[in-house]
Amino acid sequence: MTTSEARNEVRAERGTHPVSGGPIVQLPSEFGEFVAQAWTDLVTGAEHLAISSPLPPVDGKVPLVRLHSECLTGDVFGSYRCDCGEQLAYALEKINEEGGTLLYLRGQEGRGIGLANKIKAYALQEAGFDTVEANEHLGLPVDARRYNAAAQILAEMGLHDVRLLSNNPDKQNRLADAGVNVVEMVPTEVPSREQNIRYLQTKKDRMDHRLVLDAQTTEPVTALPAAGQGPFQHEQD
């Protein structure tokens, strides 16, 4: 599925994606004091989580919002193949400081291709494919994620105007198609590593992500690819 096809589907389904929210509970964490609410996508059955600052945005600003795609390897295991876990931490710190909400979107592993397929794509990347080529070689979409449920959750939370924490302009476009007004894109670029720099460059060059890269500092390498293999890559934002 191409980006334009996905956006056309979002437009066609606008206003027809029911979700159901659960109770709001306290969620103290290392990043600060938050409140959390689980949401169920009544079409797909996927369960998502909204993590919000309990305080209004500072200086009357439009609230920050991060749509964070589930990434087991990065978010849970701290994989250096991606920057997902670091982006998650950065977003929670910013939301704690300035106010807003992070939607943790489950079922979006590997830009929506699933965990098993993501590992297959990793194997192809280690053989020299970039992240776009790997998905295409597997006969999978470059980005299969959908944001109808996320847009409906934001609407039901009263978040019609947002400052989007993302480097990915496609998220802004998809939310706009679903009726959410993105008044500002707030960068979430974190320092790159040797293990993920090629992937990040691919995102910048082939997927139009707003990345600087040449101003980023590279972390020391703790594990190198085998001889003849390219740097590790990942497939999210």
- Give me the active site residues, please: 143, 145
Measured at the alpha carbon of residue 151, what is the angle toward residues 2 and 182, in degrees to the nearest 5? 85
CA 96 vs CA 29, 56, 181, 234: distances in Å: 10, 10, 22, 27
Q: What is the DSSP string of 185-231?
A: EE------BTTTHHHHHHHHHHS------TTSPPBPPSSPPPTTPPP
Token pair in block for residue 104: 């943790």
Burial of 230 (C-beta count, 10 Å sphere; 0-12/13-18/19+)? middle
DSSP code at position 154: H
Interatomic CA distance for residues 181 and 161, integer angstroms: 5
What phi and psi, each to the nearest 5 degrees, are found at residue 193?
Answer: -130, 160
Neighbours of 190 (CB within 10 A): 17
Residue labelled with tokens 């309990």: 54
